Amino acid sequence: MCIPPNITHPYLHCFHSPHTMEASTGLFTGTDNSNELVAIQGHDEPKPVKNLDGQLCEICGDSVGLTVDGDLFVACEECGFPVCRPCYEYERREGTQVCPQCHTRYKRIKGSPRVEGDEDEDDVDDIEHEFKMEEEKYKLMHREMLQGKMSSGYDDENAKSTLVDGELPISSYSVGEPGGAKLDNKERIHDWKLHQGNNLIETDASDDPEKNMKDETRQPLSRKVAIPSGKLSPYRMMVVARLIILILFFQYRIFHPVSDAIGLWFASVICEIWLALSWLVDQLPKWFPIDRETYLDRLSTRFEPENKPKMLSSIDVFVTTVDPIKEPPLVTANTVLSILALDYPADKISCYVSDDGASMLTFEALQETAEFARKWVPFCKKFSVEPRAPEKYFSEKIDFLKDKLQPTYVKERRTMKREYEEFKVRINALVANSIRVPAEGWIMKDETPWPGNNTNDHPGMIQILLAHSGGHEGNELPCLVYMSREKRPVFQHHGKAGAMNALLRVSAVLSNSPFVLNLDCNHYVNNSKVVREAMCFFMDIQLGNSIGFVQFPQRFDSLDRNDRYANKNTVLFDIYMRCLDGIQGPVYAGSGCIFRRKALYGFDPPKASKRQRLVQVHSKQDENGEDASVTGTDEDNKQLLKSERNLESKFGKSALFMNSSLTEEGGIDPSSGQAALLKEAIHVMSCSYEDRTLWGYEVGLNYGSIASDILTSFKIHTRGWRSIYCMPKRPAFRGTAPINLTDRLNQVLRWAVGALEILFSRHCPLWYGFNEGRLKGLQRIAYINSAVYPFSSVPLLIYCLIPAICLLTDKFIVSSVGTLGGIIFISLFISILSSAILEVRWSGVSLEEWWRNQQFWVIGSVSAHLFAIIQGLMTAFSKFNTNFSVVSKAPDDDGEFNELYTIKWTALLIPPTTIIIINIIGIVAGFTDAMNSGEHSWGALLGKLFFSLWVIVHMYPFLKGLMGRQNRTPTLIVIWSVLLASIFSLVWVRVDPFVLKTKGPDVKQCGISC
């Protein structure tokens, strides 16, 4: 066991093999010359991988086996590509029915069941000609089988039966005596299949369990689950009905103008048309929602055989953090601990924590976390506890004794809780000591200055806090690495996207796992089997190669019971994402996503017409435990790839990194020594590495937008990859969300600005990727909607002001409504309500959650989206840069939701407040005018009041948050809102611009009596 001591020297360190990492003897950092090696420790050369040769199946690694005649089984007569019978049968029944190497269609082999397409071949059906039995012998056997006297159908000396992948057992037994009458061929075969086949299947499972297990490994690891038609079909019908009613509605509105308020009528019709188109664009991708189901037991059976090395793919986990004040170290520590305790082979996990703030507090907290992990991880795996974030586990008010059978559990849980409380005290002490920054900067324990004292100008730092061999025997720990990329003032660092790309390069040099998991520091693992859930898709033989990433829904803790500001985003995660999964896949949501590394590198998915030589997506191992690296392309394809692309201009000047990008199954290049790996680790994390490369443009996470997650997934989908939305019964990840109104509006503002940056860039989804034709039409519409949705704020803002204008001017946007008009208006209202109810019915979202999303959509549109349009236009047509501000991710420790009632000044609060005040003034003015005008004016007032109350009801969460717990609102907000509302109301009444002005003589002056 290697325990990292205290910090001693500021040098850079890296490890040399994904499974032979050793904990470093201190913190290591680069110098001004990023390529200079300061210290190199002893190392072992990686073991060369061993390829599978001989008569082994090139798909599953099992023996090819023999035919029913005892000859060597040959699946393809053209090229002789070695494939075993189960893989051959599976490919014919479920796959493309062609050889993976020469792409020749598989012909039916003696003893194999027929599949679609075999009728075109001229071969003779051996099943019908192998069983030439006489009637008496067949009847005797038939009677014995029905009486249960035969266990296997035939004697071992005279017969040999073969069970092919759960299909009809094929027997080479032959009986007959001359002169016997024969049964009709078809009838005999039918009866034989019905009786003898079933009997043989039962006995085969008991006589040969290994063969039955092999048959189980051919089953799919996941499947699509369609939404019940009884729930989905009424919803689709109502959407169509709503569209038809909208057409009738606009026909009525356009052909029935309001003559005495033509301007008001015209503005309302334009707004209604825009909002209707926005609804239609949002609705089209929702046509094909699906669910998915995974089979974790099949994954274990196939890739975790007993008494053999694990064959699951390795994974690198990235955790990003910036500010230890807004992202407390205890929150980050819980996330890291939940990752290290994943229910996955420890030697397959490497966790990288990127500290973009170069904070000594974060580094020391991670050191304490590594020490506590030596106790926490074995406890979690021993007792299978959930969740595996200790803060959440010990704070849950549940029966922790449920399903716990070990008698020592209570005692060890009590001990572990005490250990965690002591761990929290140590972390809190570090936080308290970090409040006052010394004048000379932070000093490490060996009196060496902390290299990150200047957060904007510091070298790269890295330390291995845990190695794979860091635990006790039988309690191995995953690898834990702390790193902080180099920063210099003259370079652009691109926020989180830049940190993620640095993690991609460093991890490629150090461990190079084929899959990477991205988590924010406040999103802990709530389901320890989450990686296995994703591997059910990635490691599927037939579909895995085309999957670029698997996205999980985001769930949140510490929210108020009513979710006032729709922080759960249930409409996005429980409705919209599931609908996209039925097209080409969900978008990347910024966290909780497992990527295929090659998809992030900008490679295209394998084409179905040009299948790779191997279709496995997992790393194989032989019985001795040695890695067997599997390349997915032939050497000729690799040479072609090198000749077609300038890898240096794409990936940068790193030979080791370029070589790692060409390995299909990941792993470290065996020809590289530790010195070379150490040098490249220093080099690839330097801030100048990305100069004159395609990093951030075609490789890694994309730059150019705050919403780099949406842009990255868009680029991946345009290359032809598909994504998967995985919703396990136990939520995969949980985190914290901003419950403060100001923080929530700033978060929405950042998303909207990022969307507009994509719209005004060269990656605009309106036209980008059309030449390739790999992005499906409905998927493109979904991306267009994600880019243009902020523009709906303008018509929505106008529509929220129109009710107040109508009340102040005593005009209305609709002329006198007749019978036809009344039917259309009522039908439209019913269709809107019905489609909402049917949508929540098939999706499982509660009506309250759906309504909260609708309310905050209006609030965000008239505030954050409106400012985003201004900021986005300034960014697109000027050199104005948008800054990324980290939202506070500290949990609400006191449980009283103090942040929920805190009002922080921001200009985003002014437009919604103004709208509320204007509508309140309009309601008061309307009632006053109705009382002065008589009873005949009350009917017209009701329609105006309905629309005005519609606005106020949608604004209710904002109004409630604005008042605060003590009904106190910042004076500045009140003054500005009242002032703007008063000026607007007075000017409007005076000008009355939407009322038609009539010209003619003044009747009072001319004396005309009307």
Instruction: Measure the CA–CA gap between 410 and 841, rounded to whole angstroms.
Output: 43
Please choose, from the candidates 627, 715, 658, 668, the residue with its C-alpha nearest in 3D space to the C-alpha of residue 316.
668
Tell me whether residue 356 is annotated as binding. yes
Question: Is 71 in contact with 45 (CB distance < 8 Å)?
Answer: no
- Tokens of residue 863, six digits: 């505030």
Question: Is 838 in contact with 229 (CB distance < 8 Å)?
Answer: no
By three-state DSSP, how is residue 927 classified? helix
| Other C-beta atoms lying within 10 Å of the C-beta of residue 44 | 11
What stretch of H or E contains 318?
strand 315-321
Tell me whether residue 691 is annotated as binding. no
Instruction: Measure the CA–CA gap between 887 and 565, rounded to whole angstroms.
Output: 15
Tell me whether residue 135 is annotated as binding. no
Q: How far is the CA of 985 from the CAs of 753, 808, 946, in angstroms? A: 31, 8, 20
By three-state DSSP, how is residue 185 classified? helix
Catalytic residue chosen out of the listed positions 709, 743, 810, 992: 709
Instruction: Measure the CA–CA gap between 288 and 304, rounded to whole angstroms.
Output: 35
Tell me whether residue 999 is annotated as binding. no
Give the bridge partners for 480, in sequence order: 351, 466
Tell me, yes or no, if 356 is annotated catalytic. Answer: yes
Please choose, from the candidates 292, 286, 293, the residue with its C-alpha nearest in 3D space to the C-alpha of residue 232.
286
CA angle 599, 600, 606 (to 5 degrees): 15
- Tokens of residue 98, six digits: 């062609």
Give the bridge partners for 182, in sequence order: 134
Peptide bond into 387 cis (omega under 30): yes
Question: Is 683 in contact with 861 (CB distance < 8 Å)?
Answer: no
Tell me, yes or no, if 709 is annotated catalytic. Answer: yes
Torsion of CA 37, 39, 44, 45, to 10 degrees: 10
- Tokens of residue 116, six digits: 């679609």
| Other C-beta atoms lying within 10 Å of the C-beta of residue 687 | 20
Residue 269 backbone phi and psi in degrees, to 5: -65, -40
Instruction: Measure the CA–CA gap between 809 and 92, rounded to whole angstroms.
Output: 75
Question: Is 155 in contact with 203 (CB distance < 8 Å)?
Answer: no
By three-state DSSP, how is residue 821 classified? helix
* First-to-final CA distance of the chain: 105
Give the bridge partners for 549, in sequence order: 595, 723
Torsion of CA 587, 588, 591, 596, to 10 degrees: 130
Instruction: Measure the CA–CA gap between 958 and 857, rounded to whole angstroms.
Output: 11
By three-state DSSP, how is residue 378 classified? helix
**Residue spans of alpha helices (H) in 722-846:** 741-759, 777-788, 793-809, 819-843
> Tokens 């390795």 label which residue?
314
CA angle 272, 276, 280 (to 5 degrees): 175
> Tokens 């991710």 label which residue?
889
* CA 208 from centre of chain: 41
Tell me whether residue 669 is annotated as binding. no
Instruction: Measure the CA–CA gap between 683 and 36, rounded to whole angstroms.
Output: 9
Catalytic residue chosen out of the listed positions 165, 204, 356, 992: 356
CA angle 750, 754, 759 (to 5 degrees): 150
List, by residue number, the catalytic residues: 356, 709
Binding residues: 326-327, 356, 496, 520
